[in-house]
Amino acid sequence: MSQQIAHVSYLKLEPKPHLVANECVSCGARFFDRRNACAGCFATEFRTVDVPTDGEVTSFTIVALAAPGIPVPFVAATVKCGGTSVRGNIINVDPTPDKVKLGMKVKLATFSMGADDDGLEAIGFGFEPA
């Protein structure tokens, strides 16, 4: 099996694909990127927590015009996973307003982004209808 790397460091591929967040130990605010201090309470201690893989679409758009090289149309969305809001594309669904709905239940899904020159395969994530 070829080696794999996650598209972003907050996507964990093992044991099963899931997202993790940096949670402020003091106030519980969650961040997907590296933070110097908590934007909510200014504390500086964080712990890594798992984010549920099931969620509900709280907003979306169907992008028809994007920068060169980005395949369109695609569905960009915000998904509430437990108490954590996550940004991701809705995949494995027709990108039309008939098929994508506010409030629809979705679950995390991964896809291959291809291999680099060293044979390392990047794995991306999105959400698909549950």
Give the interface size with another protein as a residue count (CB under 8 A): 53
> CB of 109: closest distance to another protein in angstroms?
13
Closest contact distance (angstroms) between CB of 111 and another protein is 9
Q: Which of 88, 83, 93, 92 is nearest to 59 (CA)?
A: 88
Q: Residue 21 corresponds to which tokens in the numbers above?
A: 């967040």
129 near another protein, judged by CB under 8 A: no
State how far the Cα of 124 lies from the Cα of 130, in Å rounded to an integer. 18
In the complex with another protein, the residue whose CB is nearer, 58 or 130, is 58
Cite the beta strand spans of 52-91 per DSSP E: 54-63, 74-81, 84-90
Instruction: Say how many C-beta atoms besides its own lie within 10 A of residue 45's C-beta.
Output: 10
Torsions phi, psi for 126 (to 5 deg): -150, -165
Angle at alpha carbon of residue 60, lines to 55 and 66, rounded to 5°:
130
Instruction: In angstroms, give the least distance from the CB of 15 to another protein.
Output: 20
Q: Which two tokens stand for residue 106?
A: 């979705």
List 10, 106, 108, 110, residue binding another protein (CB under 8 A): 10
Q: Given candidates 37, 39, 43, 130, which one binds another protein under the rule CB under 8 A?
A: 39
Judged by CB, which is closer to another protein: 1, or 70?
A: 70
- Residues in 64-103 at the binding interface with another protein, rule: CB under 8 A: 64-71, 74, 76-78, 83-89, 97, 102-103
